[in-house]
Amino acid sequence: MRDYAVSVPGDPTFVIHKHDARRLHYDLRLEVDGVLRSWAVPRGPSLDPADKRLAVEVDDHAMDYAGFEGVIGAGAAGSGAVIVWDRGTYRPLAEGPSSAALERGHLAFWLRGHKLRGGFALQRFRTGERTPQWILVKMRDEHADPASDLVSERPESVVSGLTIEEMV
C-alpha cells in the first residue's frame, strides 16, 4: 500500500492563490502535464467533508506562475491582489495520469501543503456551461476537521506572511 502522506521527489506541485479580483476567491492549481490546471473556488477550500465547494475551471497557467504574489494592474485580466495562500505537492490517489482522470471528470488526490493536508476530490458536475463546473470536497481522513474554518483562521501567505489586505 502506498503512503500518500510521504512526499516523493518528482511529485507534482499544487498551489492555492488567494485572489482579490472582482470577487475574492481562491485559485486551486494542480501541476498536470507541465502546466497548472486551475479552478476558482469562491469560498476557498474546506476541511469539512460535508462541505462541498464550487470550483469553476479557469485557464491553465504556466508553472512559473506558481510562486506569484503581487498586484495585477487595473485593466489586466484578473486585476487585483494575489498571495500564495498554500502550496506543496500532491499525489493522485488512482493509478494513471491526472490528465486522464480530469478528462473523465473525477480526480482524487492527496495534498501535502503548509495548510492543507490529506485527501481531496474534484468532481465535474456541469459540462454544458461555458466553463466547466466542479465540486471540491475534503475526504474523510485524519486531516478532516468539520469545526475548522481554515480560510478565516489562516488568511496569510505561506510565502511572505502577508494577508491579501496587506498586499495592496
Top pLDDT among 79 and 104 is at 104
pTM of structure: 0.92
pLDDT score recorded for residue 101: 96
Cα end-to-end distance, the chain, whole Å: 46
What gap in Å lies between CA 100 and CA 65, rounded to an integer?
A: 23
Please give the average per-residue pLDDT across 119-128, as a whole number: 88
Q: Do β-strands 106-113 and 35-41 pair in parallel, antiparallel, or remain unpaired?
A: unpaired
Strand runs labelled E in the chain: 13-20, 24-32, 35-41, 53-62, 70-72, 80-92, 106-113, 117-126, 133-138
pLDDT score recorded for residue 30: 98
What gap in Å lies between CA 45 and CA 137, rounded to an integer?
A: 8
pLDDT score recorded for residue 26: 98
Asked whether 144 and 161 are in contact (CB, 8 A), the reply is no
Report whether pLDDT(2) > 60. Answer: no
